[in-house]
């Protein structure tokens, strides 16, 4: 891809991820306020929070890629790579922590479980797992001819965008 096309693609990606994160949060708040019982929304809110958190990481990543493209650099600064390595692990800790959030909700609700909250929270959490895989392991979203050509030619999933960056050698970083 030429530089102009790549810049347009990066802008499209970061704005799309930012809009998605904002829309998820707005929908959650609107629906929770409509119902009125906040304790019935703890698990869903946690799931949306994790999805939004991972999407914000993607926004930061694509903005960095856009900045590097303008500066004609390919490699992210070592401290940014290290931060994303930390995010990768933190995301799994947050995802695995979901049962503790369910337990906290159960205790706060007077030992009553909201099946809707746990069920929808789990589905939303699966979305967070897919986002984590999409960025930190294997690309799951194929939305351009370039991506589809790769998939058809190689018959396998591409390495995720952030995953590729995480393999970057770090020198001079603490």
Q: 130-168: per-residue pLDDT in tens?
A: 999 999 998 877 666 766 687 778 887 778 889 989 987
Domain count for the chain, please give it: 1
Domain annotation covers residue 9: yes
Domain annotation covers residue 99: yes
Domain annotation covers residue 28: yes
Answer yes or no: are the C-beta atoms of 62 and 14 closer than 8 Å: yes
Question: Could you tell me which residues are beta bridge partners of residue 159?
Answer: 138
Domain annotation covers residue 39: yes
Question: Could you tell me which residues are beta bridge partners of residue 138?
Answer: 159
Domain annotation covers residue 10: yes
Domain annotation covers residue 171: no
What is the extent of the structural domain holding 143? 3-166
Domain annotation covers residue 38: yes
Say what the pTM is. Answer: 0.88
Q: Give 61-76 pLDDT, tens digit per residue.
A: 999 999 999 998 888 9
Question: Which residue, 121, 51, 123, is CA-closest to 91?
Answer: 51
């Amino acid at each position: 891809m030429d530089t102009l096309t790549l810049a347009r693609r990066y802008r499209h990606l970061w704005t799309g991820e930012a809009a998605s994160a904002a829309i998820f949060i707005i929908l959650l708040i609107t629906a929770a306020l409509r119902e009125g019982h906040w304790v019935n929304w703890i698990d869903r809110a946690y799931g949306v929070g994790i999805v939004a958190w991972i999407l914000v990481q993607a926004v930061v990543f694509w903005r960095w890629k856009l900045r590097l493209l303008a500066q004609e650099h390919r490699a992210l600064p070592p401290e940014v790579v290290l931060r994303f390595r930390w995010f990768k692990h933190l995301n799994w800790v947050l995802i695995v922590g979901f049962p503790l959030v369910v337990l906290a909700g159960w205790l706060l609700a007077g030992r009553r479980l909201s099946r809707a909250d746990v069920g929808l929270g789990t589905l939303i959490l699966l979305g967070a797992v897919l986002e984590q895989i999409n960025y930190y392991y294997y690309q799951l979203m194929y939305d351009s001819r370039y991506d589809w050509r790769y998939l058809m030619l190689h018959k396998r999933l591409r390495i995720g965008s952030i995953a590729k960056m995480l393999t970057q050698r770090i020198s001079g970083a603490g």
